[in-house]
Structure 1
């Protein structure tokens, strides 16, 4: 793991722990364990209360900045890869959306991990969604 990734992971844990500590203190609860999934679940349970808190805007700003920083570290050139579903074309591949930032002028597409001929540009994603649902036995 890169030093930048280690640092942002630590920052995420610290910020979530700080907000969880505030919730625990003000609501007279035991604070959760300091690992990211547990902290995130704890905060999610109290999100309605946090949304009404005077510091809600600060929480939103901190999370937005952490998200922006984490994305820039995880995707330094801005291109993201997102798992979608099994390929509906009977090839045992997985569909992955390859999303390029607007600044690259590269077209985003969904591609199959097994067959290069199974590829869909963004303009065909709605049609592909129907095809995926049909292959899963759901009505299109």
Structure 2
């Protein structure tokens, strides 16, 4: 199987014949075609760096579109697939003693490398930068101290 291999030029008529990962280039090409069409741009060549450059350049506009969740999910799937294939998944470190402010579980982790200082494995809605993570730890430490020494 080649994830960079060509996609079928025919329309999908039966969803049951769709198994496995969609080739990377086909996913990127589909999103590039959508951006080019909706923005009235000149079509680009079907080359990896050209497609990535186009999508990156129009990312602020993409984030305002009603289909941004679908875009994000498909791009996230490409990242996960490439990490699995190349064995480059981020290292996950459990942040012991830190409770998620949303679900109250001890499920806060730090992925290295990552854009966030901490995130919750359970609810995935909590993603903290370094400043907010430090404030959370300090707050929970104060609460724990007050519970022990009222």
Select the structure that is richer in helix: 1
Work out which structure has the larger RCO, using CA pairs closer than 8 Å and 6 or more positions apart in sequence. Answer: 1
TM-score, normalization: structure 2? 0.46
